[in-house]
Structure 1
Amino acid sequence: MENEAIQTNYEIGQDNVQLFGLDIHNPVFAISSLTVIAFVLITLMFQDAAAEFFGALRPWLTSTFDWFLMGAANIFVLFALFVMLSPLGKVRLGGKDAKPEWGYFGWFAMLFSAGMGIGLMFFGVLEPVNHFLTPPLGVNPDNLEAARSMALAGTIFHWGLHPWAIYAVVALSLAFFSFNHGLPLTMRSVFFPLLGDRVWGWPGHIIDVLAVFATLFGLATSLGFGAQQAAGGLHYLFNIPATILTQVVLIALITGAALVSVLRGLDGGVKKVSELNMCLAGLLLLFVIVFGSTGAILTGFFTSTGAYLMDVLPLSNPFGREDTAFMHDWTTFYWAWWISWSPFVGMFIARVSYGRSVREFILCVLIVPTIACVLWMNAFGGSAISQYVDTGYTGVTDMVTNWTPELSLYAMLEPLPLTSIASFIGIVLVIVFFVTSSDSGSLVIDSITAGGKLEAPVAQRAFWAIFEGLVAIALLLGGGLASLQAAAVSTGLPFALVLLVMCYSTYIGLKNEPR
């Protein structure tokens, strides 16, 4: 593969159009924007029909295509580990003389905050307790220690190597073809070794449009979760009604804050908000470790990691499973959700990872966030389980069994000292994660629809920030949590096939790169 040939073809393929102050990569922007506008209008006009449709769509998709989603996620993990351990890991993103633009702290803050911040806040207590009450792989719930171990292992399975491998594969592919070969930072560029000049035509347009839809609806799911949890926290602390109206107002206000961050750019907005995230998250995590079940958290970090490593293979197997509720309600939904997030998170991580070697890149993106997620789940979920087992406190289990998931975090914090302060920090953290996800996603979608340009007009970035919020509002009104989950699954499922082909194309590119 020759750099000059690729650069020439890219220049020929540029077809951006300047219109009304926008820098439009025709027809990607037109198709994406008009479809999203139509979706919002139709969903708001026919809310009951939308709720019925999305309510049936999600369980059908996750049960019918479980084998495909789980098989694809396994392939992504194996591919990432292969590239990291093989001689391909010596390739440096940007060339042999490239130097990283950010230090490790800023880099980790941005990739972690964008990766799954809202999800950790929403599911950090809810999921381990749910799996403790109904453990996967046929573990007897009456065996409390076995149930505790399996609950944390099953949770780490969903937040560990598999999701971060999905992100790493997409981020590596985008960073390599952009930084090493001068191609635009957009999904179509990754397929140049397979499609050649056709990436600048309709095959490339389709890939980018799919990436926009996956990113937008994956983000809307997270924003909906964040709005529900923030509204629940405001009700818990200040008795503000946790109604749909409250959630809509929250989305509108926080979208406005995200819009300000977007307009400030990567260094002035996203990076500063991400670092604020890390400080607040670290503060809340330290508080839970110190005032929660400290011994159980620290020992559980190692025991749950061991249980996860021992059970990762049976948990990854889609065939002959008796725990179908765990597999369909949790695993296949998560895999589709992470895949739908992958263009957004992958492109954002790629954008801030210039100068890293491939081996360093995969090691850090795959292992460091996984360790952080293990610690987080043990601190929050492990504390909630210890409260139930050791003291008989049923606050969290009542929230889980009554399916009020947005209150599970606050219920876990209730027996701890300084409850109101800790809960308020939790609300602020959800909101700040909300802003981080929204502004990062807006920059990424903007880049895709502008043909890979990193600095598109302000009006264009504002358009996508606003419509991320509108899509989340439409889905909340048109079915709530079920609609949010169905939207993520329905866009993540077809995009999984795109990612599988991407692995092969990236392997070809790395294999031909001088090391």
Structure 2
Amino acid sequence: MSTQEQHPPTTTTPPRTEALTATASTSAGTPPGQVHPAIAPPPGRAADRGGLDRFVFGVAAVVALAFCAWGIAAPSNLGSVSSSALDWVVTNLGWFFVILATGFVIFVLVLAASRYGRIPLGRDDEQPEFRTASWIAMMFSAGMGIGLMFYGVNEPLTHFVTPPPGTVEGETGAAVRTAMATTMFHWSLHPWAIYAVVGIAIAYGCFRRGRRQLFSSAFAPLFGRGRAEGRVGRMIDVLAIFATLFGSATSLGLGALQIGSGLQVLTGIGEVGNTVLILVITVLTAAFVASAVSGVARGIQYLSNINMVLACLLALFIFVGGPTVFILNIIPNAVGAYFSELGLMAGRTGAAGGDAAAEWLSGWTVFYWAWWISWTPFVGVFIARISRGRTIRQFVTGVLLVPSVVSLLWFSIFGGAAIADQQAGRELAAEAGPEAQLFGMLADYPLATVTTVLVVVLVSIFFVSGADAASVVMGTLSERGSLNPSRFTVVFWGVLTGAVAAIMLAVGEDALEGLKNLVIVAALPFAVVMVLLCVSLVKDLRRDPMMLRHDAATVAVEQAVVEGLTKHGDEFTLVVGHQPESEDADGDGTSPTVVRTGVQPPEETDRR
């Protein structure tokens, strides 16, 4: 069997070898003068219409300001309501967060392994915008932040001293494995799979389909273009703003707690209360507003790059000056424990351990899944922006593996050093609160004052740059996908994020619990949005030009081969060429093989 292009014959066809024509057509047909959707190039990026979307901005701003007013006027009432809401969510919907997070991991892995994995996030022949080394470096920066600084020591140490209910006895060799496995469960594949879902949807819509950089734009395949750009889509953008607002405010609150603890160590001012924490938030929010107004975005970016270097130097200092061999032993131990206990951790719900398990889940796993979901508008847009030209398979591989390796090294170094201190009788877990445990560990190392100042500076810059980036995302959502939202909109959301962080710290007796309570409740509506996003993405990918070509080719060639084998045995030729249905393909009185694939142009569905 051979395959050739059709052109005027120059030789005589051998005996018993005849041409068989296979043609593919769409059920809707391709109008004259239009390019077939299977070979149409991706359109250019949608025009940046800009301008404030009064509905999105107005609804989000009014509700957020009402929340702030509630917190100022009746903080105890807000605290009690948020606690009650949290209890209801964890009791009735904790299973939803648990299943959802694992579902996202399976979804992106199947997507990458399937035929959709070869679809590029751009034109068919487009090369990656950034070199692989630069792409990995930027992915590394996305994996760092206030969360790693706050929980780097706290989480492994806490799980070592008090393992999850129903697992192992605390402060044993088995507890080391469980502590590292649980920490990696919370910080590796699951969170980055959540980010990957949004990153793929945004990158594919912008770079492959030419849509605007809005969450609502990704729902055109599911709801139709009209609804995606109407009230339904705008409400999705409002929910994305709320998720970003509360997720960012939680990060800022954690940063304020750690900065306050550092100031306590450096100045000896005694226990830090909410007044000092709110003052810290106010000062750093003012610094962010000043940077936004003065247009020193390059300066913030420069400081952020310096922050990455300083974070690496801090980790290297702990690795070299701490229990180096113990840390090296923990790294493979953590990897093995993670994969061996993955099924158990992924299926852990309140049903297995009663109230103790439910309380533990609300403070750890469910909180993390809600926090990651609330951060998807920011991190998802960021990783989408730097991944243009890469295939979905390359995207998933990089997004899941690179940050996971960073988290493994970070928690092995800081968590391993803290566990070694605890095993040596330091009692680090009992001496300091979660926000102060890093400083407590550094007190046993040389240059304790210098490293304490370094941590405070690191967290402060993460605070300012994080507020900057999150506010730009909320500004983009408020201004119809504009890549350069107005200064007023950015500053408004930045100030409001700081205000929400301050209120979240003040609403409960335990500031950390107040942060966790509200982020879980706020993330619930957006979790539903992300489920619908997966459905919309699959529907979009099924109509990708590359997939249409693949489907048409598969059906056409398969039916042509069957026809050829039936009529001519092993000796026949497939000919590529235009063949009207009414013509006789091979002059023997038979009609050609015509394959109809049922392909429908995606814009037809969008218009509906």
Determine if the TM-score, normalized by the shorter chain, exceeds 0.5: yes
| Residues 132-153 of structure 1: CA deviation (Å, up to 9, x unaligned) | 1121263332571100110110
Q: Larger C-alpha radius of gyration, 1 or 2?
A: 2
Of 308, 313, 319, the match for 1:283: 313
Of 524, 529, 536, the match for 1:505: 536
Kindly state the Cα deviation for residue 498 of structure 1 after the two structures are TM-superposed.
0.9
2:162 matched residue in structure 1: 134
What TM-score, normalized to structure 1? 0.91
Q: Distance in 2 between matches of 1:514 and 1:240?
A: 64
Kindly state the Cα deviation for residue 57 of structure 1 after the two structures are TM-superposed.
2.9
Letter in 2 for 1:161: L
Of 383, 389, 396, the match for 2:429: 396
Q: Distance in 2 between matches of 1:475 and 1:267?
A: 28
Q: Is the 8 A contact 1:218 1:487 kept in 2?
A: no
Kindly state the Cα deviation for residue 427 of structure 1 after the two structures are TM-superposed.
1.2
Letter in 1 for 2:344: P
1:297 matched residue in structure 2: 327
| Residues 377-413 of structure 1: CA deviation (Å, up to 9, x unaligned) | 1111111111111x211133432xxxx2110111111
What TM-score, normalized to structure 2? 0.78
Greater Cα shift, 436-445 or 265-274: 265-274
Of 205, 213, 219, the match for 2:248: 219
Q: Identity rate of aligned residues, in percent? A: 38
| Residues 256-315 of structure 1: CA deviation (Å, up to 9, x unaligned) | 333355457797255433322211110111111111111111111111111001111110
2:516 matched residue in structure 1: 485
Q: 1:131 to 1:142 in 2, by over 3 A?
A: closer
Alignment of 1:194-209 (within 5 A): 194-196=222-224, 197-209=226-238
Kindly state the Cα deviation for residue 325 of structure 1 after the two structures are TM-superposed.
3.8
Aligned alpha-carbon RMSD (Å) = 2.5
Q: Distance in 2 between matches of 1:494 and 1:5?
A: 36
1:146 matched residue in structure 2: 174
1:428 matched residue in structure 2: 457
| Residues 449-478 of structure 1: CA deviation (Å, up to 9, x unaligned) | 111110122222121112111111122222
2:82 matched residue in structure 1: 54
Q: Are residue 32 (structure 1) and residue 66 (structure 2) matched?
A: no
Letter in 1 for 2:427: T
Q: Are residue 89 (structure 1) and residue 123 (structure 2) matched?
A: no
Q: 1:266 to 1:368 in 2, by over 3 A?
A: farther
2:474 matched residue in structure 1: 445
Q: Is the 8 A contact 1:113 1:436 kept in 2?
A: no
1:351 matched residue in structure 2: 385
Partner secondary structure for residue 303 of structure 2: helix
Kindly state the Cα deviation for residue 102 of structure 1 after the two structures are TM-superposed.
4.2
Letter in 2 for 1:441: A
Kindly state the Cα deviation for residue 116 of structure 1 after the two structures are TM-superposed.
5.3
| Residues 335-362 of structure 1: CA deviation (Å, up to 9, x unaligned) | 1111111112112222232232222221
Question: What count of residue pairs does the alignment treat as equivalent?
Answer: 502
Q: Is the 8 A contact 1:113 1:277 kept in 2?
A: no
Q: Is the 8 A contact 2:216 2:236 kept in 1?
A: yes
Partner secondary structure for residue 348 of structure 1: helix
Letter in 1 for 2:521: S
* Structure 2 unaligned residues grouped into runs of 5+: 1-36, 547-608
Q: 1:270 to 1:195 in 2, by over 3 A?
A: farther
Q: Is the 8 A contact 1:348 1:440 kept in 2?
A: no
1:20 matched residue in structure 2: none
1:309 matched residue in structure 2: 339
Kindly state the Cα deviation for residue 2 of structure 1 after the two structures are TM-superposed.
8.6
Partner secondary structure for residue 52 of structure 2: strand
1:466 matched residue in structure 2: 495
Q: 1:233 to 1:25 in 2, by over 3 A?
A: same
Kindly state the Cα deviation for residue 117 of structure 1 after the two structures are TM-superposed.
1.1
Of 229, 234, 253, the match for 2:263: 234
Of 172, 175, 190, the match for 2:203: 175
Partner secondary structure for residue 476 of structure 1: helix
Q: Distance in 2 between matches of 1:344 and 1:88?
A: 25
Greater Cα shift, 193-202 or 478-487: 478-487
Q: Is the 8 A contact 1:173 1:506 kept in 2?
A: yes
- Please identify runs of 4+ aligned residues in structure 1 that moved more than 6 A: 1-11, 264-267
Partner secondary structure for residue 321 of structure 1: helix
Partner secondary structure for residue 284 of structure 1: helix
- More helix by percentage: 1
Q: Is the 8 A contact 1:227 1:250 kept in 2?
A: yes
Q: Distance in 2 between matches of 1:324 and 1:373?
A: 26
Partner secondary structure for residue 393 of structure 1: coil
Q: 1:243 to 1:426 in 2, by over 3 A?
A: same
Q: Distance in 2 between matches of 1:266 and 1:309?
A: 44
1:454 matched residue in structure 2: 483
Q: Are residue 326 (structure 1) and residue 360 (structure 2) matched?
A: yes
| Residues 113-145 of structure 1: CA deviation (Å, up to 9, x unaligned) | 455511111111111111111212633325711
1:255 matched residue in structure 2: 285
Partner secondary structure for residue 64 of structure 1: helix
* Structure 1 unaligned residues grouped into runs of 5+: 17-22
